[in-house]
Amino acid sequence: MPFRLLAPLGLLCLLLPLHRGAPGPDGSAPDPAHYRERVKAMFYHAYDSYLENAFPYDELRPLTCDGHDTWGSFSLTLIDALDTLLILGNVSEFQRVVEVLQDNLDFDIDVNASVFETNIRVVGGLLSAHLLSKKAGVEVEAGWPCAGPLLSMAEEAARKLLPAFQTPTGMPYGTVNLLHGVNPGETPVTCTAGIGTFIVEFATLSSLTGDPVFEDVARVALMRLWESRSDIGLVGNHIDVLTGKWVAQDAGIGAGVDSYFEYLVKGAILLQDKKLMAMFLEYNKAIRNYTRFDDWYLWVQMYKGTVSMPVFQSLEAYWPGLQSLIGDIDNAMRTFLNYYTVWKQFGGLPEFYNIPQGYTVEKREGYPLRPELIESAMYLYRATGDPTLLELGRDAVESIEKISKVECGFATIKDLRDHKLDNRMESFFLAETVKYLYLLFDPTNFIHNNGSTFDAVITPYGECILGAGGYIFNTEAHPIDPAALHCCRRLKEEQWEVEDLMKEFYSLKQGKSRFQKTTMSSGPWKPPAGPGTFSSAENHDGVREKKPTKQRIPLLSCPSQPFTSKLALLGQVFLDSS
C-alpha cells in the first residue's frame, strides 16, 4: 500500500466515528449558530478597535486605546487577521487589507526581529493570504499561485531571516536585524521551538517559488535537533546554536519546545514525508515513557527522565489536537478533559498550573487569551463530534467576554485569580483564538471541506486543483492548502520563462497569430546553476534579468539580548528569581 498520511481536517473526520447526536452533560449541547455569531462579534470588536486606535502599529493596547510595536513594526495584527477575515466571510475587507499591505509593508528596516515570530506570523500569514486570495476575489496575476505580490512579500520576509541560519550547526539564531543580519553580540542560545518551527512555511515557500534554499535550511535545523536528542530520546529547552550543546535541559511538550513536535507532524502531512513522521513517533514514545503521568505531561531532566517541574503550562494544550492528527483520539480526549478542568477552575488557562497542588504558580497566573485548548477542541470535535468540545467553546466565549472585554478590544488577563487585566491584545487573538472558536462552531466552513468541492486553476505548468480541503494550520493558525505545493514543481528559471510567455499571450490581440508568436518564442529550458545554498542567496534574486538586483548586506555573526530575555520570548520552563 502506498504511504499516505491523514489530512488533518478532511480525511481524518471521514475515518473516525462521529457521535454528533450525543447529548452534553446537561442533556443539551450549545447552539453552534448562536455562538458562531457571538464569535464573529468578538472578532469585529477587537479588529475595529485595532484599526481605529492602533494601526499601523503591530498590536493594540486595549486599556489605553492606542498601539505599540512588539515583533518588528509590520502592522502585525493586520497580517495575522487577514485569513480570519475570509474564514468569517468578509471578502471586501480582505481585498482592502491586501491593497494596504502591498502599499505599506516594508522589510528594509533597521529592526531586531524574532526569527520564530516573523516566520509564523508574517511569512505564514502572507503565504496563507496568498493562497486564499483567489477565493477572496482578489484579481490574481498570470501564473498564480506560483507568483503574486503576497508571495513576493512572504519571500522577501523569509530572505531576511536566512542570515540567522548561518551557524556551524545550521540551527538559527533567535533574533536577526532585518537590515544588517545577525547583530554582533547576539546570544547563540535559542529555544528548541525557535529552531524546529520552519518546515511548514519554508517548504511551502520553496514549492511555490522554486527556490530550494528555504526548505533546505528548515530541514537541516530539524535534523540537527534530532541528532542532539538524549540517549533516552528527549530534547531540552534551549541549545547553543554555535556549539550544539544544551543549555536548558528540561524536556517536555510545552513552552520553548511545543511547535517543534507540532511541525514534525504537520510537515509530515504537508510533504507526505515518512521520515518526519517516524521522528515524531519516536519522540512520542519517549514523551509517554518519561513525561506522562495520569494523562498529564510533566517536565523532566532530558538525560535522566527525573521530574524537574510538576507543572502544566497553557501552551501544552495544543497536544490533544496534535494527538488527534495521528489518530490517537482516546489519549487525546483524556488529556483534553484534564486541561478543561483547569479552565473550569479559573475561567481560562493560567500560564503555569502546579498539578500536585491544583493551583496556579506564582508570577504565572495570567491568561493572554491563548488559543491552544480551543485549537484542540476544534480538531477533536471534527474527529468525534463530542458535544463536550462545544461546551469548551461556549465557556471560552463566555469567559473571554465577561473577563477581558473592554471598550477598545479584549485585554490580556494578568491574573486569573482576581481577573486583573494587562494592557495588551496579542495579534494571535485574531489569528488563532477567534479563528479556532469560529471553526469549532461552523461545521460547513470551506476550511472543513472534505474534498467534495474544489477549484481547478490553470498555472504555468498545467491544471492545478486547489481548495479541496485538508488545510494544514501553521502554529499561528494560518491555513496552508497542501495541494498548492504541487502546482509549481518546475524550477524557478523555467517558471519565469513560462510566466513571461503567458503574459505575452494575454497581452497580444486575439487571433491565430497570437498563439503562433507565443509558441515560437519559447526556447529550450535552461538547467539551474545549482542547489540553493546560503552562499548563493544573492544569485536567487538575480536569476531573472528583468528583476533589479538588491544590494545584499554582508552576513554578520555572533552575540545583544541577555539569556534571561531570550527565555522569556517564547515562555519560560523554570522559575527565575526576578
Nearest to 120 by CA among 429, 476, 433: 476
- Kindly tell me the burial class for residue 534, based on how many C-beta atoms sit within 10 Å of its own C-beta (0-12, 13-18, 19 or more): middle
Q: Which of 59, 80, 93, 117 is catalytic?
A: 117
Active-site residue, from 58, 186, 316, 351: 351
**CA 396/CA 382 separation, integer angstroms:** 18
Residue 258 designated active-site: yes
CA gap 179, 186 in Å, rounded:
15
Active-site option among 372, 386, 481, 497: 372
Active site residue 117: yes
> DSSP class of residue 431?
I
Closest Cα partner for 259 from 292, 237, 290, 278?
Answer: 237
Locate 522 and state its grid cell. 519559447
Provide the 10 A C-beta neighbour count for residue 538. 11
Alpha-carbon gap, residue 84 to 319, rounded angstroms: 23
Enter the C-alpha cell of residue 18.
Answer: 462521529
Indicate the length of the chain as a whole number. 578
Q: Can you say which residues are annotated as belonging to the binding site?
A: 475
Cell of 498: 513560462
Catalytic residue among 80, 83, 258, 365: 258
Rounded Cα distance between 213 and 193, Å, is 20
What is the identity of the amino acid at 198? F
DSSP 316-361: GGGHHHHHHHTT-HHHHHHHHHHHHHHHHHHTS--SEEETTTTEEP
> In sequence order, which residues have a C-beta less than 8 Å from that of residue 338 and are 6 or more positions away?
295, 296, 312
Task: Specify binding-site residues for Ca(2+).
Answer: 475
Active site residue 351: yes
CA-CA-CA-CA dihedral for 265, 269, 270, 275, to nearest 10: 70
227 as an active site residue: the answer is: no
Catalytic positions, written as ranges: 117, 258, 351, 372
